[in-house]
Copies of this chain bind each other. A is one copy, B any other.
Amino acid sequence: MNILVTLNENYVGPLKVMLWSLFFNNPGESFRVYLIHSSISDQSVAELEAFVSKKGHTLHVIRVQDDWFTDAPVVLHYSKEMYYRLLAYKLLPAELEKALYLDPDILVINPIRELYDTDVSEYLFGAAYHEMISVKEINMVRLNAYEMEEYFNTGVLLMNLTLQRQKLNEEDVFAYINKHKSRLILPDQDVLNALYGKETERLNEFQYNYDARYYQYYKFLSDGEIDMDYVMRHTVILHFCGKRKPWHSNYIGKFHSLYKHYETLALREN
């Protein structure tokens, strides 16, 4: 399976935890991990390579050069890295037909094969809606009179690279961003929703992009069905969305112990 990650130096630690959980819960699978970045140190890249190959998988590093994305508009405090996910189809090897993008603030706790094999042949992306977005996000959206027909979360993106090469266009992305510069909240997510929401296949949120902040909400919403038992048996991707991260010392949350245990395991084996 082709896994795509894009991040900066600050997320190298969490990335290891995410990859460790992916490898551990998918024995018998072989992963090609593509890392698109522009700022990670050579030492960290070398350590990552060793980490991945020790587990029998391969890391493929694509370092974005300064003279790429020169036409891309710069938005506030966001770096150009926000484009790597949407325009990965241009950076990944031409022969790749499919890839699964994963945020580094994720734990993979069950086999990922069914997700990877989801048929997105008619779609550009596969992604999960997040039904619940935080009050703050809603307020920002209201403030910006932003249309909210669809709201896919881009932390887990199944990519139909073949179709993307035919239909995606960086000029569209740049034009959209230029036009909405002042009211983008989460740039790449907003762009995907605005430009490609209708060409995105909807994935099951509870299985493939479970927002770790909303245990109580999901349980309530499902009349108790989506309890801890359900999550541990059926959820493949636990996503630690939001500003508070489980690797911060003041984190509080239902999956704190699970995350920290995986962190320990990932470090122990390294």
A110 to B268, CA, bound (A): 10
Q: List B contacts of A44 (CB < 8 A).
A: none
Is B109's CB under 8 angstroms from A261's CB? yes
Identical copies in the complex: 2
A16 to B256, CA, bound (A): 24
Output the least CB separation between A13 and chain B (Å).
13
Is B254's CB under 8 angstroms from A256's CB? yes
Question: For the complex, is A46 an interface residue (Cβ under 8 Å from B)?
Answer: no
Which residues 217-259 of A sit at the B interface, judged by CB distance below 8 A? 227-229, 231-233, 249, 251, 254-258
Is A257's CB under 8 angstroms from B260's CB? no
Q: List B contacts of A228 (CB < 8 A).
A: 251, 256-257, 260
Q: List B contacts of A251 (CB < 8 A).
A: 228
Question: For the complex, is A103 an interface residue (Cβ under 8 Å from B)?
Answer: no
A155 to B49, CA, bound (A): 43
Using A254-B256, A257-B258 as known contacts, say yes or no to A249 and B227 having CB atoms under 8 A apart: yes
* Most interface-central of A227, A249, A261 (chain B CB within 10 A): A261
| 4 A-B pairs with least C-beta separation | A257-B258, A232-B260, A232-B264, A255-B257
10 extra interchain contacts, Cβ-Cβ under 8 A, other than A109-B264, A228-B251, A232-B264?
A109-B261, A228-B257, A229-B260, A231-B260, A232-B257, A255-B257, A256-B257, A257-B258, A258-B258, A258-B261
